[in-house]
Structure 1
Amino acid sequence: MSRPVRTAVLLASFLGMVLLGAAPASAHGFSSVVYADVTSGDDGHVTTKLELEYDLYIVSTADALKDDPLFRAGTAAFDDRDDQEMAAALNSHAGNAVKYVTDRFTVSVDGQACTATRTGDFTMGVREGVPYTTLLLDWACPRADAHEASARLFPDSEGYVKGTKTIVTYEMDAHSGSAALDAGTPSFSTAQTWYERFWEFFRLGAEHLLTGIDHILFLLALIAGSRRPREIVLAATSFTLAHSITFMLAALGLVDVPARVVEPVIALSIAVVAGWYLFRLWRRGDHVTDLETAGHSHFSLDRAGWSRLGVVFLFGLVHGLGFAGALGIDAAWSWTLLWSLLVFNVGIEVVQLAIIAAVFPLLLVLRRRSPRAGLWATGVISAGVSVMGLIWFVQRVFGL
């Protein structure tokens, strides 16, 4: 290993350990997602099916309502990963568990709150490898042509997670659709326009990429390893095409890969793409940005360029499953849901292109004015990204 590469790896390793102290094993662990399915019933009634992250639900409810027995029983069951015990802990403390939700999730008509009643017991399931509990509520509402739903579950003020999203799918009042609720947009009406719904999913997609550290690092690895504008454009296009394919397949219910497989592979993809450039830097040194052979295709890529493009495409397929998991795609397929997911994807792409447009020209200028400094910069970035990817891979494989 050449001295510049070795030094870059050492510097990046130190940087990676610093970042590790601020970043969780799962890059999506800063937040939580609540899933709500809202449908109309008979005689003005509304039915909601809420799915909530179990351990967060237990801690938040116990803390908010000072229910220490629920905390002890719920956390013990969670540590044992016993579904029956987890459901029993909630069912035995159903009063407080339901109160926590209905204080923060409401259905109303013209400002008049509907009355909620629990139907059935709490049940357990899994989303993205995480235990989730399901709560069914029946809401008695005045007859109306439109309903409003508001969600303020697991707010930042509780101090456990930040930026909780509530993904709502609804079919009522002769309308069907989806909505993404958070602290900035805590409520929606079934009478809202199509562009209001789609703006919410566009914003959600943009925020997901900006707050997904693993996706950002993967993009930085692509930028650092690209030698000329056409390579980063083709790499970004390949990545976009690949994750759009799996994203849509997940929406259609044709692909279902568990998060315990997807998340480690995403971490590994970060390390591989960044390590690919480090390997070329070690092999070619100052000539790492040169084309090895003249390309004869329309894209003028050499063998290394085509190989890298194939790897990016394959890993893009896996990242698409990660994006799909962010919305918990397992609902019945509909055109409305599909369009919402497409808009979510567009939000991801706009931010991705904005990052490329901001960073890659700066890298080109640095390489032209000081080639040596350009090699150092890309080497340190790639080494740091590779180290973080490997650390995350180990953490996600072993559940650390």
Structure 2
Amino acid sequence: MSVLLRRVLARVLLFAAALAALVSLAAPAAAHGFQSVVYADLAGDGPGVVRAQLQLEYDLLVVSAADAERDDPLYQDGTAAFDDGDADAQAAALVAHRNTVAAYVGERFRVAGAGEPCAPTMADNVTMTWQDGAPYAVVTVDYACGPTENGHEVTAGLFADDEGFVKDTKTILTYALDLHEGSTVLDAEHPAFTTAQTPLERFWEFFRLGAEHLLTGIDHILFLLALIVGSRRLREVVIAATTFTVAHSVTFILAATGVVAAPPEVVEPTIALSIAVVGAWYLWRLWRGGRVDQDLSHAHGFLRLDRAGWLRVGVVFLFGLVHGLGFASALGIDEPWSWTLLWSLLVFNVGIEAVQIGIIVVVFPLLVLLRRRAPRIGMWASALLAVAVTLAGLVWFVQRVLGIE
């Protein structure tokens, strides 16, 4: 390797260290943290009655319903039961303060028919379950509605941002109501849903959710950028991106349907490590050979790669499997398999892939053009991006292993 190239890499390292520090500080250490997921299952239960079975994160329900007032009986009993980890005591605390819980849930999760609000009545019994590594309370609420011919409208606002405990709560809503059945996702930007919604509108909800997740998930974007910057030819980035897509699609669907599971304490650090490894791969090739943008004279045909290229594809596939678990965790679904669920998952995945393809279409041609028109500047830009991605991945890896938010 030439002395000039070593000096370039040394300078790039200094610039990128500062850039990576800014990136890691600007984005949360756990891209899928600080959120909660509400599970809502709606069905008709006789004339004029809509029954909602809600699964709510227990500790959030306690502090939100009690308005975090430490002298509130629900807060005292509920937090004590949470600290003890006793599921029976947790359910008993919610039942004992049923009126407080019912008032909060009825205000924040509303059902309306023909434009008129339905009157909520919370059932006496509360059970406990386990979702996303946390205790969840299963609460049943019956909504008495008047006659309606145009379906029901559901508005979800549980654990809102203004409460200050979590951000961007998503409500996974499944329904069998008004001769319609399906699923959708509600959040702060799209809090309402009507059973008169068309299939195209339901498609758009999950497509938008998948697209937004990749756009707001800085760790997945950096992984994709690492794949792009480390690719010499179009075939390399296409093969790597396709491999990543296939791998994360498999584990995403298996995890979301409850077939496989992995703790976030393992998944999130591994995702961060994958970013560092794929970014460092380009730097290692640059350090060893110095010419990473040349064609492979012996590689003919779209799928022909050298040995190092296929090794990189294998590494991308393994890390793609882990990223799929991260996507499933972000969506927050862990339900038994059904055709409705599979359709929703596939649409969510299509949203992810649409953004991924868009990033490749924009970034890769620009990088190739820069490498050909101004090779030295292209090398600087590629190396700078690779070092920044690598350092950001390492910082996140340490933060996630140590549990630093």
* TM-score of the two chains, using structure 1 as the length reference: 0.89
User: Which residue does the alignment assign to 1:38?
Assistant: 42
Query: What's the CA shift for 1:69?
Result: 5.3
Matched residue SS, 1:367: helix
Given candidates 314, 321, 324, the residue that maps to 2:318 is: 314
Report if the CA contact (8 A) 1:367-1:375 is conserved: yes
Listed one character per residue, the Cα deviations across residues 87-146 of structure 1 (whole Å, up to 9, x for unaligned) are 555445443333222212111211222222222454444433344433222222335452
1:164 is aligned to 2:169: yes
Q: 1:303 to 1:133 in 2, by over 3 A?
A: same
Structure 2 residue ranges without an equivalent (≥5): none
Q: Distance in 1 between matches of 2:129 and 2:7?
A: 52
Give the Å deviation of 1:77.
5.8
- How far is 1:62 from its partner? 3.8
1:131-166 CA-to-partner distances (Å, cap 9, x unmatched) read 443322222233545222111223333444443321
2:289 to 269, 279, 284: 284
Shift of 1:85: 5.9
Q: Secondary structure at the match of 2:29?
A: coil
Q: Please tell me whether residue 178 in structure 1 is matched to residue 183 in structure 2.
A: yes
Structure 1 residues not aligned, in runs of 5+: none
- 1:358 maps to 2:377: no
2:24 matched to 1:20? Answer: yes
C-alpha separation between the residues in 2 aligned to 1:14 and 1:81? 43
- Percentage identity across aligned positions? 60
Quote the Cα distance in structure 2 between the aligned partners of 1:73 and 1:17.
43
Structure 2 vs 1, CA of residues 222 and 298 (structure 1 numbering), >3 Å: closer, same or farther?
A: closer
With over 3 angstroms needed to count, the CA separation of the structure-2 counterparts of 1:5 and 1:213, relative to structure 1, is: same
Which amino acid is the alignment partner of residue 278 of structure 1? L
Indicate if the aligned counterparts of 1:293 and 1:302 stay in contact, CA closer than 8 A. no
State how 1:188-227 maps to structure 2 within 5 Å: 188-227=193-232
Moved more, 126-135 or 63-72: 63-72
User: Shift of the alpha carbon at 1:335?
Assistant: 1.7
Q: Distance in 2 between matches of 1:31 and 1:5?
A: 39
Q: Distance in 2 between matches of 1:90 and 1:176?
A: 30
Match of 2:139 in 1: 135
Moved more, 225-234 or 58-67: 58-67
1:202 CA drift (Å): 0.7
Q: Output the CA distance in 1 between the equivalents of 2:135 and 2:15.
A: 38
What's the CA shift string for 1:348-378, capped at 9, x where partnerless?
1111111111111111122112222222222
Q: Which range moves more in the overlay, 90-99 or 168-177?
A: 90-99
Paired AA for residue 333 in structure 1: W
Residue of structure 1 equivalent to 2:242? 237
- The Cα shift of 1:250 comes to 3.0
The separation in 1 between residues aligned to 2:201 and 2:333, in whole angstroms, is 21
Residue 378 of structure 1 pairs with residue 382 of structure 2:
yes
Q: Does the aligned pair in 1 maintain the 2:233–2:295 contact within 8 Å?
A: no
Residues 224/157 of structure 1: CA separation in 2 closer, same or farther (3 Å cut): same
CA displacement, residues 50-89 of structure 1 (integer Å, 9 cap, x when unaligned): 2233444444434488965555665566566665665555
Per-residue CA distance 1:261-295 (angstroms, 9 max, x = gap): 3222212211111121122122123x122356622
1:118 aligns with 2:122: yes
Range that drifts further, 342-351 or 371-380: 371-380
The offset of 1:327, in angstroms, is 2.4
2:28 partner SS: coil
Q: Judging changes above 3 Å, is the alpha-carbon distance between structure 1 residues 86 and 392 closer, same or farther for their aligned structure 2 residues?
A: farther
Write out aligned runs for 1:85-100 (5 A). 87=91, 90-100=94-104
Residues 306-358 of structure 1 deviation map (CA, whole Å, 9 limit, x = unaligned): 11111111211221122122222322322222112111111111111111111
**Correspondence list, 1:256-335, <5 A:** 256-285=261-290, 287-291=291-295, 294-335=298-339
Q: Which amino acid aligns with 2:204?
A: W
Partners of 1:4 and 1:76 lie apart in 2 by: 59
Mapped to 2, the partners of 1:80 and 1:387 lie a distance apart of 40
In 2, distance between residues paired with 1:288 and 1:305?
11
Letter in 1 for 2:385: I
Name the CA distance, whole Å, in 1 between partners of 2:91 and 2:21.
Answer: 38
Query: Whole-Å Cα distance in 2 between the matches of residues 209 and 163 of structure 1?
Result: 15
Write the distance in 2 (CA, Å) between the matches of 1:301 and 1:363.
20
The one-letter code of the counterpart of 1:178 is: S
SS in 2 for 1:108: strand
Q: Say whether 1:347 aligns with 2:348.
A: no
Structure 2: distance between partners of 1:321 and 1:395: 19
Cα contact 2:69–2:75 (8 A) shared by 1 = no
Give the 3-state SS of the residue equivalent to 1:139 in structure 2: strand
| Alignment deviations for residues 220-260 of structure 1 (CA, whole Å, 9 cap, x no partner) | 11111111222111111111111122223234433233323
Residues 47 and 136 in structure 1, CA contact (< 8 A), matched pair in contact too:
yes
| Aligned 8 A contact 1:291 1:302 in 2 | no
